[in-house]
Amino acid sequence: MSTSTSLPGAVQAGAPLLDPQGGIPNSPASRPGRTPDGKGHALTRTTRYKLGNVLVTLILSLGAVVMLGPLIWTFSTSLKTHDAIFALPPQWIPDPVVWENYLRVWSAGPLLSGIRNSLIVAGTVTVIGSLTSSIAAFAFAKMRMPFKNAVFLMLLAGLMIPFPTIMIPQFMVFAEIGWVDTLLPLIVPGLFGNIIMIFFLKQYLENVPDSIIEAAKLDGASYLQIFSRLIFPAIRPAMAAQFILWFMAVWNDYLAPIIYLNTPEKQTLQLVIASFNAQYASQTDYPLIMAASFIALLPVLIVFIIFQRQIIESVALTGGKG
């Protein structure tokens, strides 16, 4: 038994390269013309491919366990009593299951205000920032302006500047106008738009024919009208995906919040769970920490599961363009 699976397995290591592209195993009709070896060989190929699939599925399943294991372990820990986390052998299914940690966690630290602050920051930045980005993308893609491309390239080049290189002067400026320990330094820069989003919307708009816009202009539509009636509906799908990705990035941000926010009630969710971690680890209250972390994971996880197709497609696009 073991030899019969390991033999195709050895071939399989490189095999997927040929087969999925050619789709050969699924179309035996087209085979005889292509493989001169004849029928018998064709049959082995199909079986071999199927056995390869079994083996690949096994490996991928093992990988899936590794990927999900820590997350499941987190959830499992969050449902344990304090004693159960030190049980040997470890309990995968908590005994007893205590949901109490999820009640305790709200009064153990400013979790609720953390969620609210994260929502305020991520919501404001992405909603207004997407609007400014899309208007700019429209101008970059469809309007005539001298030095347009030079300006665009300059903005793109700005992406190469790492945040740590500019964070110190940025902090000093915001400190001077008294914005430290408020959410403003996290919100205001984002309102001016996001060059990555502008880039993708601009690419997307290249496919919209100029003639539509010219026609609208002849009809006397203003540029703002063209944007809101023609452009905005056209780029909505591309925008939605970029919006979600941006929202998740702001939601998960950590370095900027840790610089600006000191008061616990003013911190974003990521900082709140980090200070949960620092505070309760010394008391080994891991169930509480894990409950807080799991709550912090949940919103993005839900968004991902709902929009996974759009997210995955637009991410796959990112690499193709880059």
CB neighbourhood size of 73 (10 A): 13
Q: Indicate whether 215 belongs to the interface with another protein (CB under 8 A).
A: no
Comparison of 146 and 209: residue with beta carbon closer to another protein: 146
Residues 224-243 close enough to bind another protein by CB under 8 A: none
Closest CA to 105 of 270, 286, 253, 298: 286
Which tokens go with 54? 């079994």
Among 10, 62, 71, 153, binds another protein (CB under 8 A): 71
Residues 21-50 close enough to bind another protein by CB under 8 A: 21-23, 25-26, 34, 49
Q: Indicate whether 15 belongs to the interface with another protein (CB under 8 A).
A: yes
Residues 248-267 close enough to bind another protein by CB under 8 A: 248, 251-252, 254-255, 258-259
Whole-angstrom distance, CA of residue 72 vs CA of residue 70:
5
Q: Indicate whether 81 belongs to the interface with another protein (CB under 8 A).
A: no
Work out how close the CB of 284 gets to another protein at its nearest, in angstroms, rounded to a whole number: 9
Q: Which one of 108-116, 186-194, 203-211, 234-242 is the stretch in contact with another protein (CB under 8 A)? A: 186-194
Work out how close the CB of 200 gets to another protein at its nearest, in angstroms, rounded to a whole number: 14
Whole-angstrom distance, CA of residue 201 vs CA of residue 159:
16
Comparison of 32 and 69: residue with beta carbon closer to another protein: 69
Q: Which one of 2-10, 39-47, 102-110, 151-159 is the stretch in contact with another protein (CB under 8 A)? A: 151-159
Measured CA to CA in angstroms, residue 12 lies from 38, 44, 48, 200 at distances of 21, 13, 8, 38
Q: Indicate whether 144 belongs to the interface with another protein (CB under 8 A).
A: yes
Q: Which one of 2-10, 40-48, 72-80, 104-112 is the stretch in contact with another protein (CB under 8 A)? A: 72-80
Q: What is the dihedral of CA 143, 149, 152, 157, to 10 degrees?
A: 170
- Burial (CB count <10 Å: 0-12, 13-18, 19+), residue 287: buried
Work out how close the CB of 2 gets to another protein at its nearest, in angstroms, rounded to a whole number: 20
Q: Which one of 39-47, 141-149, 204-212, 234-242 is the stretch in contact with another protein (CB under 8 A)? A: 141-149
| Amino acid present at 259 | I
Among 8, 9, 114, 193, binds another protein (CB under 8 A): 193
Which tokens go with 137? 């993308």
Residues 92-131 close enough to bind another protein by CB under 8 A: none
Radius of gyration of the chain (CA): 27
Work out how close the CB of 107 gets to another protein at its nearest, in angstroms, rounded to a whole number: 20
Among 103, 127, 166, 306, binds another protein (CB under 8 A): 166
The residue written with tokens 């601009």 in the block is 202
CB neighbourhood size of 8 (10 A): 19
Half-sphere exposure of 4 (CA within 13 A, CB side): 6
